[in-house]
């Protein structure tokens, strides 16, 4: 099974990240599992599990904004014709 997210790209960016989710909420990212896309965020001192597909954009430590779609491996990009997404 290949990784859903690009670990080299994630590790190349200055961290920590702030994730902006659908609906506008922003929370610090604690960690990301590149294989499954699960991530833990720090919500007022408590860790909460989310999925990377809920992320709209990530802000890196330098303040640069990165589109969430840039983090996916090309083979694993969501397929608009398949609601659950396509796996390569």
Profile the chain (88 residues) by mean pLDDT over runs of 10 residues: 91 97 96 97 97 97 96 70 45
What domain count does the chain have? 1
User: What tokens does 18 get?
Assistant: 């702030």
- Determine, yes or no, domain membership for 48: yes
The predicted model scores a pTM of: 0.79
Number of H helices, E strands in the chain: 1, 6
DSSP string, 46-65: EEEEEEGGGEEEEE-TT--E
Instruction: Write the DSSP symbol of residue 4.
Output: S
> How far is it, in rounded angstroms, from Cα 66 to Cα 64?
7
Domain that holds residue 70: 7-76
**CATH code of the domain covering residue 71:** 2.30.30
- Determine, yes or no, domain membership for 87: no
């Amino acid at each position: 099974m290949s990784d859903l997210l690009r670990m080299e790209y994630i590790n190349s960016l200055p961290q920590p990240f702030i994730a902006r989710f659908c609906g506008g909420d922003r929370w610090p990212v604690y960690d990301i599992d590149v294989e499954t896309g699960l991530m833990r965020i720090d919500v007022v001192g408590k860790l909460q599990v989310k999925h990377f597909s809920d992320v709209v954009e990530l802000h890196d430590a330098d303040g640069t904004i990165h589109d969430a779609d840039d983090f996916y491996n090309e083979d694993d990009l969501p397929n608009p014709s398949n609601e659950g997404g396509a796996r390569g």
